[in-house]
Structure 1
Amino acid sequence: MSKQMRRYEYTFLHTAATLLLLSWVSLMPVAQADALQTFIIKESHQAQAITAEGSVEAVQQSAIAPQVSGSIAILTVKAGDYVKAGQLLARIDTRIANQQVISNQAQVAAANAQLSAARQEYERKRRLHEKQYISQAALERAESDYKTAEAQTKAQLAQTNAANVQTGLHTINAPYAGLVAEVMVELGDMAMPGKPLLVIYDSKALRVVVNVPQSQLAQIKQNAGIQVSIPAAIESERSLTGTQVTILPTADAVSNMVKVRITLPENLTSLRPGMFARAMLPTENAGAQGQLSVPASAVVKRSELTAVYVVNSKGLPQLRQVRLGRKQGHNIEVLAGLQAGEKIALDPIAAVNFK
């Protein structure tokens, strides 16, 4: 009889322990759901924008090339140097050009001498013709010789002036103040007309060029402040506001993209042409409708499925498919699948492990 009582007692204790364990297990997911980091969907009426990526470029940039050929005798700058307007950059050997100038000057002197003799002969024959000592034909020949000598003298003077100008072209000066971006030659190299020697740009005036789909051009507000992000710049210049927007009048036939130029504030010290940049272009229909967005980290992408974990009224995360729009910073626009006031899990890994 005591063994039977002990058996009943053991069975009772085992049943109570089992019920207690089941009660704890049933409560455990709720506790985990309460600890799960969540995000409440809210309707936003902030200005919508198109996110476009591009690069920094100089408003004024020039490839400096000579107009004459010759050996580079002087090279005064290197990449990274700041130059002033009119500063000497390079000089091409002028010895041949100088000899040509000397030769032209000698020819001008000879032409002047011939012109003086022709003028005197013409004046003498004109006086003789007035006294009817010579014929009209002789006077005309003297006049013709005088005019020919005069024309030849003008031609020699023009050639001399051209030689002087060409000699000046052997000196390469900076067209404006700026930074030397690249030097393509070395001292002693042969310079050729049209072949760039170096590249300079105005570091005080920069802009960002981004590519925008042509289907979205009509939505862009050209008179609105555009936020530009440049991650490689110093902290104070990473986030800037564009001062002017210019949409170029041509589109790329392959990519269907149009270039949009955004002028940046002047005197930026850490920006360089070629740096990556991201621009937020405000649209004309900004704020017309409420917008739902979720953090990008909360989105789950599995093959063709795009979803988020929605926490239901019992605190349990459930996978739900959504349709997303444009990415804006760290958030992504939600076009369908969610409603304002719903709660989603911020960490999909923690949500999927909740079982």
Structure 2
Amino acid sequence: MTVFTRVLMLLTPLVLTGCFSDTPQTPEPSGQMPQVTVTEIQPWQQPASKVLPGVVRPGKRAVLSTRVAGTLISVNVEPGDTVEAGDLLAETDAREVNAGIAAARANISAAESAVQQARQDHQRLQRLYEEDLIARVRAEQAQVQLDQLKAKRQQAQSDLEARQSTLSYARITAPFAGQIAETLVDAGSFVGPGTALLVLEAREHLRVDVPVSSQLAASLTPGQLMSVMTESKNPLPAHLTGVIPALENKGTGQRLRLSLQDTQHELAPGQVVSVLVPDGHRQEQSRQNNWVGLPEEALIRRGQLTGALVVKKTEGSFAVHLTWVTTVNPPGNNTHLIPVTEGLAAGDRVVLNPSAELQDGQSVTIALTGSENGGQ
């Protein structure tokens, strides 16, 4: 046996042991590329918007006061209380008014007695005149006296009604259902006619006042839909009810009056909100500058930058490329598209719901959305 043969026999068991070892081996990459869903960018067709500040106001607001001078003897509500129409809110001391009512009733009673006596006198004198026992002038004077006393009785009744009406003003009741926003005077204070006591607001429906330029206000129409942005980033639909000119025609200081219903109670009167107001001038810019609409599902945010993954075909394969874009505020009509002014062009294909694992320049296979087909 040669030396070579002996060495070969010693190495053979080691080679076989390595081939059948139980130690797992690292698999080779499969070479499969991730599949992405893409959509084709279309020209921007929606109106553009401006973000403007607005102030929330209650749908109804009443500052309640009294016509009676006196001491405020009770305030039955606190700020934040909910009341129904007709509920007693406060009451002033009405003893003086009650005394006047008692005097008016006494005057009515006296006037009624005088009328009854005058009527009897007139009837007696009328019979005597018919029997030619007295002159006609005596009967006529009795009729005049009766008429005068009837007028005094009517005056006393009117005085009673006026005092009773004044008494109702001593009781301040809610003119509509709503929420007490503020109590301005405490019980025990002396108040006079016109003194503001309470502020009542109806918040089922709210309104928003938005200052705008005369040019922008002229481009809007009543009933137009807008969006009010809340702290929860949940836009609330609002409709334009009118434009309130603050200065001369064609001047600045116009205000939009919007109405909305806040069923989730996210807003409160006095709160400052952002309102998306359609801008016709920007719409014209979008046509001239070839704006496009980017689906929200394709938008990528990294710090202050926004972008999208654009799919491009090179040498028979597809790859994604991160492209930074410039956007403007979307319109307030619940569209899922975001207007892009720079970075994309109509016909570009972008990835929807891009995975965080996708890298710039990575090869992919694509699946089209909608009616798109072919072109792969």
Are 1:257 and 2:253 matched, yes or no?
yes
What is aligned with 2:217? 217
What is aligned with 2:271? 275
Contact 2:62 2:199 in 1 (8 A): yes
What is aligned with 2:190? 190
Report the alpha carbon displacement of residue 69 of structure 1 after superposing the two structures with TM.
1.2
- Provide closer, same or farther for how the CA distance between residues 256 and 333 of structure 1 changes in structure 2, counting only shifts above 3 A: farther
Contact 1:56 1:274 in 2 (8 A): yes
Matches within 5 A, 1:49-198: 49-198=49-198
Report the alpha carbon displacement of residue 262 of structure 1 after superposing the two structures with TM.
1.5
Moved more, 218-227 or 140-149: 218-227
- Distance in 1, matches of 2:69 and 2:43, equals 68
What is aligned with 1:328? 329
Report the alpha carbon displacement of residue 241 of structure 1 after superposing the two structures with TM.
1.1
- Distance in 1, matches of 2:132 and 2:262, equals 81
- Distance in 1, matches of 2:148 and 2:269, equals 59
CA deviations on 1:218-254 (whole Å, 9 max, x unpaired) are 33354442111122xxx3x842111x21232423359
- TM-score, normalization by structure 2: 0.64
Percent sequence identity is 24
- Distance in 2, matches of 1:76 and 1:105, equals 31
Contact 2:230 2:266 in 1 (8 A): no
- Distance in 1, matches of 2:150 and 2:208, equals 59
What is aligned with 2:230? 230
CA deviations on 1:295-315 (whole Å, 9 max, x unpaired) are 99469xxxxxxxxxxxxxxxx
Report the alpha carbon displacement of residue 194 of structure 1 after superposing the two structures with TM.
1.2
Are 1:239 and 2:235 matched, yes or no?
yes
- Distance in 1, matches of 2:144 and 2:222, equals 70
- Distance in 2, matches of 1:178 and 1:184, equals 17
**SS state of the match for residue 205, structure 1?**
strand
Structure 1 spans left out of the alignment, 5+ residues: 1-41, 300-323, 342-355
| Corresponding residue pairs, total | 267
Q: Which amino acid aligns with 2:161?
A: N
**SS state of the match for residue 270, structure 2?**
coil
Q: Which amino acid aligns with 2:252?
A: N
Q: Which amino acid aligns with 2:159?
A: Q
- Distance in 1, matches of 2:256 and 2:343, equals 35
- Provide closer, same or farther for how the CA distance between residues 333 and 198 of structure 1 changes in structure 2, counting only shifts above 3 A: farther
Q: Which amino acid aligns with 1:133?
A: L
- Distance in 2, matches of 1:154 and 1:206, equals 48
- Distance in 2, matches of 1:176 and 1:292, equals 49
Structure 2 spans left out of the alignment, 5+ residues: 1-41, 294-300, 307-325, 331-337, 346-376
Contact 1:230 1:276 in 2 (8 A): no
- Provide closer, same or farther for how the CA distance between residues 110 and 279 of structure 1 changes in structure 2, counting only shifts above 3 A: same
Q: Which amino acid aligns with 1:138?
A: R
**SS state of the match for residue 206, structure 1?**
strand
Contact 1:204 1:268 in 2 (8 A): no
Are 1:248 and 2:248 matched, yes or no?
no
The two structures, once aligned, show a CA RMSD in angstroms of: 3.1
What is aligned with 1:19? none
- TM-score, normalization by structure 1: 0.67
Contact 1:49 1:280 in 2 (8 A): yes
Contact 2:51 2:275 in 1 (8 A): yes
CA deviations on 1:113-142 (whole Å, 9 max, x unpaired) are 111111000000000000110001111111
